[in-house]
């Protein structure tokens, strides 16, 4: 890894630590700036672009109320955010694949997520928030 990438990674980790300690959040502009800077140290630039687009889209629509989700639906959301497909989620939760598909459909309906990729992006962010609240 080049020295510039090492420096960028170090600065990003310092920012995350600082935000964690001070319990502050980034404005959307700051968040987009950090995500764009992350592209230089992350292999999948398309995922970063996708997250930026999702955040812009979700900020302009109704806020998502995860309180309407059941405990099992939240478990499914966390596993979707981990990148698991329906078959893997079914194995993980000891469910049928069709049951997972039904959970996905109900989650999208409750959260008003009209596309599968929006569900993934939401789940990815939900998982990050969940991990943060657990620590």
Domains of the chain in sequence order: 3-60 (no CATH), 66-134 (1.10.10.10)
Measured between alpha carbons, how far is 86 from 115 in angstroms, rounded to an integer?
A: 16
Mark the ranges of the chain whose per-residue pLDDT is less than 70. Answer: 1-6, 8-9, 12-13, 16, 20, 26, 54, 57-64, 131-135
| Segment 55-82, tens digit of pLDDT | 776 655 445 678 899 999 999 999 998 8
Report which secondary-structure segment, H or E, holds 18.
Answer: helix 3-22
| Prediction pTM value | 0.60
Q: Chain centroid to CA 117: how far?
A: 11
Query: Sign of torsion, CA 19 126 42 59?
Result: negative
Q: What is the DSSP letter of 67?
A: G
| pLDDT number for residue 62 | 46
Query: Sign of torsion, CA 35 16 65 59?
Result: negative
């Amino acid at each position: 890894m080049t020295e510039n990438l090492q420096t960028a990674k170090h600065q990003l980790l310092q920012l995350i630590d600082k935000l964690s300690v001070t319990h502050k959040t980034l404005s959307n502009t700051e968040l987009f700036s950090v995500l764009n800077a992350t592209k230089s140290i992350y292999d999948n630039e398309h995922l970063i672009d996708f997250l930026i687009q999702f955040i812009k889209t979700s900020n302009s629509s109704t806020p998502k109320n995860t309180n309407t989700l059941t405990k099992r639906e939240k478990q499914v959301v966390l596993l979707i955010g981990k990148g698991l497909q329906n078959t893997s989620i079914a194995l993980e939760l000891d469910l049928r694949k069709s049951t997972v598909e039904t959970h996905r459909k109900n989650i999208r309906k409750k959260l008003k997520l009209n596309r599968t990729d929006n569900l993934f992006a939401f789940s990815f962010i939900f998982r990050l928030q969940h991990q943060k609240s657990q620590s």
